[in-house]
Amino acid sequence: MMKRSNVTGALISLPAISIYSLFVIYPLISAVRYSFTQWDGIGEKEYVGFSNYIQIFQSPELIGSIRNSLSLIIFFSVFPIFFGLLLANFIVRIRTQKIRSITQVVLFFPQILPLAASGIAWSWMYANNGLVNQLLRAVGLERWTQSWLAGFSTALPAVGIIGAWVLTGFCSVLLSTGISKIDPSLYEAARIDGANWWSEFRNVTIPGLRQEISVLITVTTIAALSSFDIIYVTTLGGPGSSTLVPGISIYRLAFTQSAVGLASAFGVVLMLIVILIILPIQIYSRRND
Amino acid sequence: MITTFSEKVLGRSMLILAVMFTILPILSMFSASLEPADSTPLGLSWPSDPQWGNYATAFSGGNVFTLMKSSLFIVVCVLPTTILFATLAGYAIGKMKIRGNSVLFFFFLLGLTIPFESLIVPLYYQVDRFGLLNSQLAIVFPLIALFMPFSIFWMRAHFLRIPSEISEAARVDGASEFQEFRRIHLPLAIPSISALAVIIFIWTWNQFILGVVLIDDPLKRTVAGALTFFQGQYWISIPLISASALIIITPSLILFLIFQRKFISSLLQGALKA
């Protein structure tokens, strides 16, 4: 009996195992293999050991693209989670069910858009005649107006704000459902102890949301490190390399500069960075459960 | 939760600001889309003479019909296959607890955090060798594979929640393994499966990078991947780009508004389980 069900189980897992091996595991192995070669994508591959990896860490442009994507974590993770916490706190206080769910639907909605479409919408927001400059002119800050995605120092924060726009609503809705699961008696106890808004937030809400927060850190950090879509439609990494991120570098190296080995090595490095960041968060949150 | 008056005012104003921040980019795109196609619009202003014709121009000039068909084809290939494969494997790992199920679990766990960016280069050459480059199948197979880890975890989590007494009762009644799955576990899994379907639909419909890398012809990509086509076609005309982008997001927007609760709860659960 036991044996037969093992065979059946293996058989029904086979389709999943096969397609996953063929289109995830196999390319993963190829990526590692290519990463040790110099290859233009057409000719012979030449084994070069670790030199691609060394080149990544010696190239200011590639290091810069890692640094940019780490800076984007501020916009993709820190802002959305911080404002998400604040907003969630206010959302759960809305008494009218109808208004509460409309607020949640509106805030959540950027999440269902293709990132590329959000990128296009925001390219227009940031344009010379776009809404951002129009608002600045309206409040008399004429001299601040500029083409936000074209400035060396403004492009990266501008792109980051697009990420914040996409993720803040998602975070606040997720956190608000988390708050409504916290035992109301904890809040009552805090009030009886004379807790004000802030200490209630710090001592009841935050500890009650630990699991949600660790999930959000994970999801938003991955989004920050793989921000290909938004950058591709807004700046393509420019001006100069001020908004270059690993995804764009990999794309350019492999498909416009024919440095397939180097591109593959960068893909492996990106994967390792993601694991290095995610693993401690996961271990920490699991241990505290 | 007792709320004081000042907290209420602060809360309301922050929420109103957040709601405005969320919809302004779309409103601004909408107002721009109604300006004459050859004009340079201003951020947000109601056009004196709304050019609804821009939508017709964008629709035909952008081959939106072809694009929607292409997207739909990709979804129709990816969605049922992903669900079928993941349900079966999730059942084997979570319910049947086959020998080596923890090894299998870790095997799939490996793929959960791989960014698509890390695999595009080898996938490109692999898909090329298979003769699939520039066809829709070039992204169908990798997408199914890349969705496997998440989908299997999702279904496994569902089957783990089902008490084992139910299976035992079925066994006592003499149900075969297949009957047990078909008559008992599959019906119970419908809510989890439909939530997974929502997530996979959104991820497929919005898929961008694989289309851009593996399919040269934007008209064979998903609609999201084709947005670059509009950028190329209409880069000079903000009204037409805006109109095309709005057309592109309309189907998901309508679906979202109809099934808002399902969408939100699925995507939230999706994040919490992954």
CATH code (residue A143) = 1.10.3720.10
Domain presence at residue A151: yes
Residue A153 lies in a domain: yes
pLDDT of residue B42 exceeding 90: no
Q: Whole-prediction pTM value? A: 0.91
Q: How far is B93 from chain A (nearest CA, A)?
A: 8
Its ipTM equals: 0.89
pLDDT, one tens digit per residue, over A121-172 is 999 999 988 999 999 999 999 889 999 999 999 999 999 999 999 999 999 9
Per the domain annotation, does A11 fall within a domain? no
B15 with B95, same domain? no
Are both B68 and B42 inside the same structural domain? Answer: no
pLDDT for residue B256: 87
Q: What band does B96 get if pLDDT is binned at 50, 70 and 90?
A: confident
Among candidate residues B57, B80, B96, the one where a domain is terminated = B57
At B235, is the secondary structure helix, strand, or coil? Answer: coil
- Mean pLDDT score, B97-118: 87
Residues B151 and B238 in one domain: yes
Contact A5 B96 (CB under 8 A): yes
Which one, of B20, B38, B33, B47, lies nearest residue B249 by Cα? B33
As for how many domains chain B has, the answer is 2
Looking up tokens 């947005």, which residue turns up? B227
**What is the CA angle A221-A227-A228, rounded to 5?**
155
pLDDT at B90 over 90: yes
Query: Smallest CA–CA separation between A51 and chain B, in Å?
Result: 18
Tell me the nearest-neighbour CA distance from A216 into chain B, angstroms.
8
Q: Based on the domain organization, do B192 and B249 belong to the same domain?
A: yes
Q: What percent of chain A has pLDDT over 90?
A: 69
Q: Report the domain count for chain A.
A: 1
Residues B241, B197 within the same domain: yes
- For residue A1, the model assigns a pLDDT of 44
In this structure, is residue A13 part of a structural domain?
Answer: no
Whether residues B150 and B268 share a domain: the answer is yes
Size of interface A-B (CB pairs under 8 A): 296
Residues linked to residue A47 through DSSP beta bridges, in sequence order:
A37
In sequence order, the 6+-apart residues with CB closer than 8 A to the CB of A117 are: B224, B227, B245, B248, B249
Q: Kindly state whether residue A132 falls inside one of the protein's structural domains.
A: yes
CATH number where B142 lies = 1.10.3720.10
Q: For tokens 């590329």, name the residue.
A: A116
Q: Are residues B52 and B73 in the same domain?
A: no
Q: In terms of residue numbers, what domain contains A67? A: 29-288
DSSP string spanning chain A?
Answer: -HHHHHHHHHHHHHHHHHHHIIIIIHHHHHHHHHHTEE--SSS--EE-TTHHHHHHHH-HHHHHHHHHHHHHHIIIIIHHHHHHHHHHHHHTT---HHHHHHHHHHHHGGGGS-HHHHHHHHHHHHSTTSHHHHHHHHTT-GGG---GGGSTTTHHHHHHHHHHHHHHHHHHHHHHHHHHTS-HHHHHHHHHTT--HHHHIIIIIHHHTHHHHHHHHHHHHHHHHT-HHHHHHHTTT-STTTT--HHHHHHHHHHTS--HHHHHHHHHHHHHHHHHHHHHHHHHHHHH-
Chain-chain contact of B145 with A12 (C-beta, under 8 angstroms): no
Q: Is residue A254 part of a domain?
A: yes
Residue A14 lies in a domain: no
Q: Residue B31's domain spans which residues?
A: 5-57
In a domain, A221, yes or no: yes
Report pLDDT digits (tens) over A20-49.
999 999 999 999 999 999 999 889 999 999
